[in-house]
């Protein structure tokens, strides 16, 4: 079956209002294949501005707004955090959850990540669940073990049926921001494992879940990566800050 293709831009702690204007203007000129969604995830201060500019340009239906994170609580004394209701008021549709930088730098556990996935789903938004292994784990052949544990934690929390509304981004930690990238064959092998692991719980849902690759995707490697049967798009970091390069990546997604 055909799955939706998704190209999501994760700007991390980068970008400004000028980039939002340039990106929306640039994407306005891109002809996307049917069944392809583009998601842009700027920093929290720019969420409302992104929505306003996209509406002004008439692109709010073709370019979707995403958040880089969310707090698992609805409200409360959590200084510096942002709630799911706040994101909804900014017209956010997608939320990145469990990015490797959150897991590593801020020590977010798989249990916390699962709680955040549940929070996003309960609000009717779409989580982009990030999973991935470190270079040491890859070298010691623990990739499948690590990915299984990260996925199982979420399955245990929400149940496999709710994965019908989940997007998964596989991001080998050793390939994020390093310029390194898995070969298309290596990335496909891991994506196939992810789909097969989900199929152990429900084969029909496993076949529907969009699987994104998130390891130094750029304009020169996106075509071959997106051509793999189990790679349904990408979670793009550095290249998403370059309008012309991101346009090429979006155009490479086939749906």
- For 101-154, the pLDDT digits (tens) are 999 999 999 999 999 999 999 999 999 999 999 988 988 999 999 999 999 999
pTM: 0.96
Mean confidence (pLDDT) of the chain: 94
Can you tell me whether residue 236 is helix, strand or coil? strand
Contact 239, 218 (CB under 8 A): yes
What's the full length of the chain, in residues? Answer: 255
Asked if residue 174 belongs to a known ligand binding site, the reply is: no
pLDDT confidence bin for 1, thresholds 50/70/90: low
Total domains in the chain come to 1
pLDDT confidence bin for 76, thresholds 50/70/90: very high
What is the Cα–Cα distance from 86 to 71, expressed in whole angstroms? 10
Contact 42, 11 (CB under 8 A): yes
- For residue 23, is pLDDT > 60? yes
- For residue 223, is pLDDT > 60? yes
Report, as residue numbers or ranges, the catalytic residues.
Answer: 99, 171
Q: What is the CATH number of the domain that holds 81?
A: 3.20.20.70
Contact 127, 70 (CB under 8 A): no
Asked if residue 62 belongs to a known ligand binding site, the reply is: no
Asked if residue 177 belongs to a known ligand binding site, the reply is: yes
Boundaries of domain holding 103: 5-252
């Amino acid at each position: 079956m055909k799955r939706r293709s998704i190209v999501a831009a994760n700007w991390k702690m980068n970008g400004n209002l000028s980039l939002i204007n340039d990106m929306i203007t640039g994407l306005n000129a891109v002809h996307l294949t049917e069944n392809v969604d583009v998601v842009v995830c700027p920093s929290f201060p720019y969420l409302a501005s992104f929505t306003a500019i996209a509406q002004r340009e008439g692109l709010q239906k073709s370019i979707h707004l995403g958040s880089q994170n969310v707090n698992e609580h609805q409200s409360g004394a959590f200084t510096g955090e942002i709630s799911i209701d706040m994101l909804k008021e900014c017209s956010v549709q997608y939320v990145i959850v469990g990015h490797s930088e959150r897991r590593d730098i801020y020590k977010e556990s798989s249990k916390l990540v699962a709680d955040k996935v549940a929070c996003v789903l309960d609000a009717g938004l779409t989580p982009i669940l990030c999973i991935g292994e470190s270079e040491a784990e890859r070298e010691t052949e623990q990739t499948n073990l690590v990915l299984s544990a990260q996925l199982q934690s979420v399955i245990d929390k929400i149940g496999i049926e709710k994965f019908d509304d989940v997007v998964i981004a596989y991001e080998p930690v050793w390939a994020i921001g390093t310029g390194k990238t898995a070969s298309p064959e290596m990335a496909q092998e891991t994506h196939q494992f992810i789909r097969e692991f989900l199929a152990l719980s429900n084969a029909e849902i496993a076949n529907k879940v969009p699987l994104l690759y998130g390891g130094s995707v750029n304009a020169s490697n996106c075509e071959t990566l997106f051509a793999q049967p189990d790679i349904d798009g990408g979670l793009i970091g550095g290249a998403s800050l370059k309008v012309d390069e991101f346009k090429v990546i979006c155009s490479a997604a086939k749906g």
